[in-house]
Amino acid sequence: MTIDAHPALPEFEYVQPPTLSEASGFLASHSAEARPFLGGTDVLVRMRDGFLTPKFLVDVKKLDGTSSLRFDPQAGLTVGAGVNMNRVIAAPEVRAHYPLLAEACQSVASYQLRNRATIVGNICNASPAGDTIGACLVLNGVLHIHGVDGSREEPLATFFLGPGRTTLRAGDVVTAIHLPLPPKGCAGRYLKLGRNKLSDLSIVAVTALGYPDPDLISRYRFRLALASVAPVPLIPAQAEAYLANQSITPDSIHEAAHLAAEACTPIDDVRGGARYRKAMVRNLSAKALNEIWERLR
């Protein structure tokens, strides 16, 4: 008997439609058996392991505009679905205006993998652990989607329904993620706890963003997004609201971190236990908020 530790990919057809409309049409008419294909860093592994068995992979990364990264000083940043993470990290506009996004991308796997992995792919996989999702959430990301009825925009905040489940319908192709210009004077931080220092999936991760907002009692707005602690990437709204209505002190940051941990509903799995995850969300939230507060004040 021979044991094949690395079975080949199962059989499928590779399809490269020439236009977005044809891609949507093909995906809609083969809804149960076709998947859009970007960098493949997730879908190929899951196919090889037998968790996914699509008949068709529909390559959408070279279609109309999906391979461009555009920045407009008024409108903000639009990252095409086919733009790999190393390109995002290296882009001067990203470094200047969206360092939080670069920091999140930098934490993904390895340099080789980031030459293939894409932010839109990370979002569409809808893993609660997705490293780049938190930055896109706190920066108010909006997805550009092409479907059978044409194009539409959808806020990222309401996109996730569960692990691997999103509001996408048959025939939908996400063509880009748009991030509006970040608030003036903002500071952000992505803190990821993995089983090793570099390259692992997160046990938990915290994305935080803070910026001056004179309309608030605290005069500062803080945004938080938590990874790997709920069925979807989680925004702890109570913690955010609490900080908006307090003066920012070590005590109020401590309480907000506690509220963030209370918002989590983590599971026990191979990467960590639920209790540990909650405790680490509290610690990392406090650390991220304190670091940002030091930079803002």
Partner 1 sequence: MAFHKVNVTINGEREQVLVPSNMTLMRMLRESVALTGTKNGCSAGECGACTVLLNGEPVNSCMVLAVECEGAEITTVEGLAGENQLHPIQEALIREGGVQCGFCTPGILISAHALLQRSPNPSDDEIREALVGNLCRCTGYVRIIESVKEAARRR
Question: What is the size of the binding site for partner 1 (CB under 8 A)?
Answer: 26
C-alpha span between 83 and 97 (Å, rounded): 18
44 binding partner 1? (CB under 8 A): yes
The CA distances from residue 96 to 184, 221, 245, 255, in Å, are 12, 21, 30, 32
| Among residues 110, 167, 238, 249, the one that binds partner 1 under rule CB under 8 A | 110
| Among residues 78, 86, 228, 285, the one that binds partner 1 under rule CB under 8 A | 86
Identity of the residue, 154 or 200, whose beta carbon is nearer to partner 1 in the bound complex: 200
| Among residues 1, 3, 8, 32, the one that binds partner 1 under rule CB under 8 A | 8
57 binding partner 1? (CB under 8 A): yes
Identity of the residue, 61 or 278, whose beta carbon is nearer to partner 1 in the bound complex: 61
Q: Is the dihedral of CA 44, 138, 167, 153 positive or negative?
A: negative
294 binding partner 1? (CB under 8 A): no
The CA distances from residue 145 to 66, 92, 123, 180, 230, in Å, are 11, 26, 13, 17, 25
For residue 269, with 0-12 CB atoms within 10 Å meaning exposed, 13-18 middle and 19 or more buried, which class applies?
Answer: exposed
111 binding partner 1? (CB under 8 A): yes
Please state at what angle helix 237-244 crosses helix 250-263, rounded to 10 degrees. 160
116 binding partner 1? (CB under 8 A): yes
Stretch binding partner 1 (CB under 8 A), from 20-28, 44-52, 209-217, 256-264: 44-52
Strand partners, 155: 142
19 binding partner 1? (CB under 8 A): no
- Among residue numbers 176 through 215, which ones bind partner 1 (CB under 8 A)? 198-199
35 binding partner 1? (CB under 8 A): no
Identity of the residue, 115 or 151, whose beta carbon is nearer to partner 1 in the bound complex: 115
Strand partners, 174: 145
Please report which helix (H) or strand (E) contains residue 244, including its range.
Answer: helix 237-244
What is residue 116's three-state secondary structure? coil
Chain positions contacting partner 1, by CB under 8 A: 6, 8-14, 39-41, 44-45, 48, 57, 59, 86, 109-113, 115-116, 198-199
